[in-house]
Amino acid sequence: MRKRKDDPDDQAVISIIAEGARVTGEVTVKGTIRVEGEVDGNVTAGKAVVVGKEGAVRGDIVTEDAVLSGVVEGTIRAASRLELHATSRIDGQVRARRMKLEEGALLNGTVLLGEEALEETSAAPEVSDSAAAEERAGAVPVDVESPLESPASIEE
């Protein structure tokens, strides 16, 4: 099918879920979607997902760029960048090439950044303690001696 000259570019189209609107199910757009209302389901966008201050997504987000000011409960997968504004609250896993986190944003979950974070992998096993999580993340345990617990301060 040939594209007409006056057809908008798929990437330039912005879809909006307005404040007060509630969508249940999968939402898929080729361009950008702005969520000011609520989505109960996964959101996939070819260009960007923007969740406004009053917006909420209860499901996974897959996109190039994500700019979040509202609530997301689920996995966020941003192939290019993720911005979390001060009013955002994220509960779930974050996978992004790069991330900007404003002071005041709440992020509860696992964060994986860089090229490796975007590679398809099987689900990670549940973490039972912080040592196991650090080991999987490549962290090296370090013993830190507190000045309050040093032998000199205890004897004095």
**Is the pLDDT assigned to residue 137 strictly greater than 90?**
no
Question: What is the spatial distance between Cα 100 and Cα 94, in angstroms, rounded to a whole number?
Answer: 12
Q: Is 148 left (phi over 0), alpha (psi -120 to 50) or beta?
A: alpha
Strand partners, 29: 45
14 pLDDT tier (thresholds 50, 70, 90): confident
What's the pLDDT tens digit per position in 45-61? 999 999 999 999 999 99
Q: Are the CB atoms for 30 and 49 separated by under 8 Å?
A: no
Q: What is the Cα–Cα distance from 53 to 68, expressed in whole angstroms? A: 8
- How does pLDDT run across 85-136, given as a tens digit for each residue? 999 999 999 999 999 999 999 999 999 998 887 876 434 334 344 444 444 4
pLDDT of 11: 62
Are the C-beta atoms of residues 6 and 22 closer than 8 Å to each other? no
Question: What are the sequence ranges of the domains in the chain?
Answer: 10-119
pLDDT value at 42 more than 90: yes
Confidence of residue 10 (pLDDT cuts 50, 70, 90): low
CA dihedral 86, 92, 94, 100 (to 10 degrees): 10
